[in-house]
Amino acid sequence: MLAPGVVHACACGCGVFDVGTSSMFPNGRGGMAFLQYDYQDQNRNWSGASEAPAANNDDKEIETDFITLGLQYMFNDKWGAQLEVPYDYRHFKTDVGGGDIESRNWSQFGDIRLEGIYTGFFADSSAGVTFGLKLPTGSYSHDADVVDRDTQIGTGSTDLLLGGFYRGNLTQDEKWDWFGQLQLDVPMLTQAGYRPGVELDTAAGIDYKGLAIGRVRVSPLAQVIFSERTSDSGSNANPDNSGYQRLMLSPGVEFHIHPVKIYADAEFPVFQHFTGNQVAAPVLFKVSMSFMF
């Protein structure tokens, strides 16, 4: 009777992939097309601030490849827009009862994000705000007898997106820069008894622009990323096993040979606190390639 109950619970934290690199900040009029790949393998059960026995959670593994095609365009020095279309592949392993482990593999388009951009605060476009919507374009009912709502690729919700960024120079020679960014995701319209938690993702970092290999400018960087998500709610949610706070350290590097940028980083949790039992990833990876026009 004193043993912990077995639960279905996971923590995606997918919004964290939308913060953490100054290379995506707009810088004057013009466009940028980008392709981004993100990866996480949630294979460790976590409860509170420490790893917990896998037997406490029916969900055993959620491995996801995120592929996002995006377009950003600044119509002038102040106003622009950005569109992101994700396509995700997910592997899910769970105990459906009595120790019977079931696996599911599926791929589909996810929830499209459409945002406006304003960078008219300063002449150098060093600060900006973003605002828009996440649309319920991804399915939230794939194999619903096995795949619970917080493991679906789509949330079924229309979310308000609010964000901001700032970047500046640390040294007079402009070789050392710093940047900060935040993104708030607030579900507004929901479907089928499930409201995802409110998610806040923030990042702050420094980068160095004094390295070059031939015509290729190489910029190493280091950043700190903090995320918080409140518990899900609704008749098809599991509020006792959703919601978290997470702090990550992330080294990265960017290669720039105009008009192409290639960026990569790894994100390592150094502190995380999960409500109830949830499966979490030991490291997250991001690679993106962008083309300016």
- Angle (CA) 169-172-174 rounded to 5° is 50
Question: Which of 17, 37, 35, 87 is CA-nearest to residue 250?
Answer: 17
Each of the 293 residues of the chain gets a pLDDT tens digit; together they read 233 333 445 555 566 666 656 777 888 899 999 999 999 999 999 999 999 999 999 999 999 999 999 999 999 999 999 999 999 999 999 999 888 999 999 999 999 999 999 999 999 999 999 999 999 999 999 999 999 999 999 999 999 999 999 999 999 999 999 999 999 999 999 999 999 999 999 999 999 999 999 999 999 999 999 999 999 999 999 999 999 999 999 999 999 999 999 999 999 999 999 999 999 999 999 999 999 99
d(CA 60, CA 55): 9
Kindly list the distances between the CA atom of residue 83 and the CA atoms of 9, 112, 137, 244, in Å, as whole numbers in the listed order. 30, 8, 13, 28
Check residue 21 and give its pLDDT. 66
Q: What pTM, to 2 d.p., does this model score?
A: 0.93
Check residue 28 and give its pLDDT. 85
Domain assignments of the chain as residue spans, ordered by start: 14-20+29-292
Check residue 26 and give its pLDDT. 86
Check residue 98 and give its pLDDT. 86
Structural class in CATH, domain 14-20+29-292? mainly beta
Q: What one-character-per-residue DSSP string does 139-197 give?
A: -S-TTTTTS-GGGSS----EEEEEEEEEEEESSTTS-EEEEEEEEEEEEEE-BTTBBPP
